[in-house]
Copies of this chain bind each other. A is one copy, B any other.
Amino acid sequence: MPAHAGYQQIKTQVLMRIRDDIWPPGSFLPTEVDLADMFGCARATVNRALRELAEEGVLDRRRKAGTRVRLSPLRKAEFVIPLIREEIEASGSTYGYVLVSRDVTPAPGWLAAAFGIPLGAEVLHLRCLHLCDEDPFQVEERWINLDTVPSARSADFRAMGPNEWLVREVPFTDVEVSFGAVAASEEVAALLAVTKGAAVFEVERKTWLEGQAVTLARMWFRPGYRMTTGQ
């Protein structure tokens, strides 16, 4: 109703009306033109408010059909995945890095399958350990597609982690991240200084550059590590 309704206020108003069951789940909202009239503002302002609410998972919008309240709102959680060096240094600790192993091999079958590369294509395989104040913090196992990133073959990963190197050198267009919990393998347990079978948080990250597989990384964190929404 305020003469100077901004898109933020419109978002709030819409959420209030949904909460008060004026627009219950599944029901249609008025059209943008009508809402602009109701709120005394331009249609573009309403459009931005509704577009953002749709993006946030509250509304469902379709041309011609209109805007409706989602039956159950999509519940999204956004995580910022920090560069491990920055995460450790931001906490006031000292970052350390060790390259554990490096070899060039034909892609194992599971990797070729999971990643969409020809079976037997050469990949660079690295295992690394990241330290926080000298204590094991994260174990990283990484596979780099040498067809897509040939320069990785001659890069020196003894001083700089593959993550940092890739961030600087290799662009990508698509990412897939997944989280899970696994029992520490013998090797991971040894590197993390935990008992074999201990519960460790696992992050897997795959990237592509315009359809070409770039890299796949699996990371295991020391016990107690959590990933939390927000910054």
Contact = CB atoms under 8 A, between A and B. Distances in A.
Interface of A: 19, 57, 72, 74-83, 86, 167, 171, 175-184, 197-202, 221, 224-230
A123 B198 CA distance: 33
A199 B183 contact: yes
Contact of A77 (B81, B167, B198): B81
A183 B221 CA distance: 14
Nearest to A73: B167
6 contacts: A57-B80, A72-B83, A76-B79, A77-B81, A77-B177, A180-B201
A83 B76 CA distance: 11
B80 A74 contact: yes
Given A72-B167, A199-B182, A177 B228 contact: yes
* Top 3 A-B pairs, shortest CB-CB distance: A181-B181, A199-B199, A181-B201
A179 B221 CA distance: 12
A98 B153 CA distance: 55
The prevalent SS among residues of A at the interface is: strand
A78 B80 contact: no
Nearest to A183: B199
B178 A227 contact: yes
Contacts of A82: 75
A75 B175 CA distance: 10
B176 A230 contact: yes
A162 to B, nearest CB: 15
Nearest to A170: B19
A201 B179 contact: yes
A180 B81 CA distance: 14
A179 B179 contact: yes
Given A19-B171, A178-B229, A227-B180, A77 B76 contact: no
